[in-house]
Amino acid sequence: MEENKLSKKDIFTAGILRENPILSLFLGLCSTLAITTNINNAIGMGLSVIVILVLSNLLISMIRNITPDSIRIPVYIIIIATLVKVLEMFMQAYVPSLYNALGTFLALIVVNCIILGRAEAFAAKNTVVDSALDGLGMGIGYTLVIFLISLIRQVLSTGVLSFYHPLTTETIFSFQLIPDGYTISLFGEPAGAFLTFACIIAAAIALQDQSSRRHTKKQQGGKA
């Protein structure tokens, strides 16, 4: 019996909007704060998480009915660890610059709460297609947030918005947005990551509260 009765559209958009793993569930914060110094790192980590989420959800959903409850967590970890190791080897061979930039945080995808959390909360209880959509939506939601954080931090700390080709390290574009002498180096440091994250969370909560108030007024016929 399938637990989730949501439509496929709702399953996919849940991780992007109402159940965003970072803004709503506060999962995967270590990598969020550590690797968001530039947009190259954010896109690389985001795509890695999307791949692992989709594939792990697919595999775990496929074997959910034959996996004993007593060993399900070790099974999930083995599946996720295998996928991450394959991804690591692929990136080390083809995108070594990005592999080196992400460092140990790439390997730590194995214990990323988003991956294991979706395996236990969704993939273990739903169909293969729904699980893949859930993983894709959660991965995109995660990627969008870390991209926004890295964009803010990169521009404020260096004054430059740039992006390089991960295979050749050739610069694709580079724009000077803030003149030299007006940048804030703090945003390139760990403290800047916390400050940026706090501001984005505050803005997200404010938008949610505003949306909730509008919804309440609408239900009350426009009366305050």
Residue 1 has pLDDT above 70, yes or no: no
Q: How confident is the model at residue 152 (pLDDT cuts 50, 70, 90)?
A: very high
| Residue 173 phi, psi dihedral angles, 5° rounding | -155, 155
pLDDT tens, residue by residue, 208-223: 888 778 877 777 765 5
User: Which amino acid makes up residue 197?
Assistant: F
pTM over 0.85: yes
Give the DSSP H or E segment for 195: helix 190-219
Q: How confident is the model at residue 3 (pLDDT cuts 50, 70, 90)?
A: very low
Stretch among 6-15, 146-155, 174-183, 214-223 having the lowest mean pLDDT: 214-223
Sequence-ordered list of residues with C-beta below 8 angstroms from that of 118, at least 6 positions apart, any chain: 53, 56, 57, 134, 135, 138
Rounded to the nearest integer, the mean pLDDT of the chain is 89
| Average pLDDT score over residue span 65-73 | 91
Percentage of residues of the chain with pLDDT beyond 90: 59
